[in-house]
Amino acid sequence: MRLLNTESLELRFFMPSSVPDYVILSHRWNSPSSEECSFEDMTKSPILDPSCPARKKKGFLKIQGACRLAFRDGYSWIWIDSCCIDKSSSAELQEAINSMWNYYAGSNICYVYMADIQDAEAGWDQRFSKSEWFTRGWTLQELIAPVYVEFYAEDWAPIGTKLERYEEIADITKIDLTVLVRTQEIDLFSAAEKLSWAAHRSVTREEDEAYSLLGLFEVNMPLLYGEGRERSFIRLQEAIYNSTADHTLFLFRHSLHHNDQPLLADSPTRFCDRIECTLHSCIREVEKPSA
């Protein structure tokens, strides 16, 4: 795991057995994504040098702000997806995506940076529920996996924590309250209900609709960018079923335009109808009745 030093802004790799305490950043990437500071940007020239090209990118201010906050909170290390993964290495990218849930779950604090809340003093409370952060595929696991989550506006003004705002967040995301306050194990929820939490979220690369859910279901699979949205999501469901034998995967909304209905859904949007049941009760519902 590669971490960024919050004081020197230097990147360092740690073996799993020696990972120090760290915080983690959850954020919406800038558009275009080239405005984010990549691993290459942070390593090809001294980042503290005022002439370093990376310092001119919009993403650098975000990294700088997150590091200052972490340093203030007493942490020397932070993980930020834009710069802590060498995306030129397909092997490293694949390992990072398959490990993402664990990265967030292992953090001491997750800072959520909401760049679309510009002024924390002027009506930000009403804008919180409208933030794009709640609409993205990757941020689902980034909300659920960490124990402690803090939300910040564009100027890094604090706007609450997951525990302080759990009722509002549950209403926004349709995630069960008990998941947010960690009073019930996520494994007790059916696959169909967990997929319903992702039904209205979007991603930039269509395959990430499936890849962003790997950690939520504790499954791993190869990343095959280019395979398409439907194929990647079917592979995800196959991995889930092989791991859990959860029959609720078959409880999805079918298309009205096809006579031959598939066994597995082609997208999380097929699970937009929330299925409020535990894994075991749902399995009993779909089992073939005895004669």
Residues 138 and 217 grouped into a single domain: no
The one-letter code for the residue type at 259 is N
Task: Specify the number of domains making up the chain.
Answer: 2
Residues 111 and 192 grouped into a single domain: no
Answer with the one of 149, 184, 219 that is the final residue of a domain: 184
How far is residue 52's CA from residue 8's CA, in Å, rounded to a whole number?
A: 14
The closest of 211, 282, 213 to 246, measured between CA atoms, is 282
Phi, psi dihedrals of residue 149, rounded to the nearest 5°: -125, 130
Pairing of strands 2-5, 77-79: antiparallel
Residues 169 and 63 grouped into a single domain: yes
Share of the chain above pLDDT 90, in %: 73
User: pLDDT value at position 280?
Assistant: 42
Q: Where in the sequence is the domain holding 3, given as residue range(s)?
A: 1-184
Residues 105 and 152 grouped into a single domain: yes
User: pLDDT tens digits, residue range 172-229?
Assistant: 999 999 999 998 889 899 999 999 999 999 999 999 999 999 999 999 999 999 999 9
Answer with the one of 140, 168, 184 that is the final residue of a domain: 184
User: pLDDT tens digits, residue range 60-103?
Assistant: 999 999 999 999 999 999 999 999 999 999 999 999 999 999 99
51 versus 260: the higher-pLDDT residue is 51
Residues 206 and 150 grouped into a single domain: no
Residues 239 and 157 grouped into a single domain: no
